[in-house]
Structure 1
């Protein structure tokens, strides 16, 4: 069974853990180990809580469920070499008015540059955490957009997204994150700035020819 480490237990990290617990060998890591242990106790048996170093060492797939700056700092850990690393961040400005970087680079590409020996995949940045609390049947058609340079890593993350109860849209190499992160920002604008709430997500509709 694939071992998945989730680093960071904010709303996204917790939501993903809830969807994956019992379906994978799951390891959680947080700066607050007591809170992480308490959260793990609410999940199906078999979820392990370790410090960040221990979680990375044990994992096949590492989810950076962290804000961009923290994800970038964590990506510099040489222990990530050879591992699949999922970047879920949107590099938003402090006031949420837009992205701090974009169009000629992306958070995912910056994470890949900081972890050159890792297999970085962008995913989960275009959905709100609240979707994880819905029944999986209600999110089965909601796409998780996936981008990465390593074909096997993209396949592994696509399987993870399916296990978590979502559809998958592969978007090409990691440079596609230059498009996905503005899409995530647009979703944030719809959800908060324009009052649509957080029970929304972007998806593509194919019309009949």
Structure 2
């Protein structure tokens, strides 16, 4: 696939690494073009672009920014009509220990309201950047899971295919409204990682018999 990644921080870098490894063509952009170029130079099939030129003919956009920066970053790409936009953000407080949106909405739903021409998918938000960069394999032959919530079936299946191409198991998390569950799940994972001292090599997964 052709993928645009917006954001050059830890999550954006993890996506660049793993998408390149999986053979996708990646366009990466961020606030600092020099930083984007430095990231792109590390991996094959990854090219840096200014935000206004980063969309191209990409099959999907991954918004790997902080939640507060997501809508301005998406609007800076240009016409998103019909585009699959994968929202990995969580609406975290300054200390990362609580959410600023919940119960009656979610970060994903707010982004969908702000950019209604795009097809928003909630996914990858329950993964730490270290886990994303290291890949889906865990101890004892366990494989990590990406939960995928969306109202648009093609957008959901595009995201599922993308996650599976990188080796992740996937779970259909229903409609976009269920981002209201996935974002608190990410918050709990952050608490376990930092508040409870379990570190950042952990991720939630559902098991069945």
Mapping for residues 28-107 of structure 1, pairs under 5 Å: 28-44=28-44, 46-76=45-75, 79-107=79-107
Where do 1:52-201 residues align within 5 Å?
52-76=51-75, 79-134=79-134, 136-138=136-138, 141-201=143-203
Equivalent pair of 2:137/2:144 in contact (CA under 8 Å): no
Which deviates more, 49-58 or 173-182? Answer: 49-58
Compute the displacement of 1:92 (Å).
Answer: 0.4
Displacement of 1:112 after TM fit?
0.5
Question: How far does the alpha carbon of each residue in 1:186-209 deviate from its partner, in whole angstroms, 9 at most, with x for none?
Answer: 0000000010101100011224xx
Contact 1:140 1:167 in 2 (8 A): no
- Contact (CA 8 Å) 1:140, 1:166: kept in 2 or not? no
1:6 matches 2:15: no
| TM-score w.r.t. length of structure 1 | 0.92
Displacement after TM superposition at 1:110 (Å): 0.5
How far did residue 149 of structure 1 move? 0.6
CA contact (8 A) 2:121 2:159 kept: yes
Q: Distance in 1 between matches of 2:105 and 2:154?
A: 23
Unpaired stretches in structure 2, ≥5 consecutive residues:
none
The normalised TM-score by structure 2 is: 0.92
- Tell me, in whole angstroms, the C-alpha distance in 2 between the residues paired with 1:136 and 1:101: 28
Deviates more, 1:55-64 or 1:164-173: 55-64
Deviation at 1:173, TM superposition (A): 0.7
Equivalent-residue separation in structure 2 for 1:96 and 1:137 (angstroms) = 26
How much has 1:36 moved relative to structure 2?
A: 1.4
Q: State the partner residue of 2:15.
A: 16
The count of aligned residue pairs is 205
The Cα offsets for residues 71-112 of structure 1, whole Å up to 9 and x where unpaired, read as 122344551121000100000011223000012100000011
Contact 2:63–2:85 (8 Å) recurs in 1: yes
Structure 1: 5+ residue runs without aligned partners?
Answer: none
Aligned-residue Cα RMSD (Å) equals 1.6
Aligned pairs for 1:197-208 within 5 A: 197-207=199-209
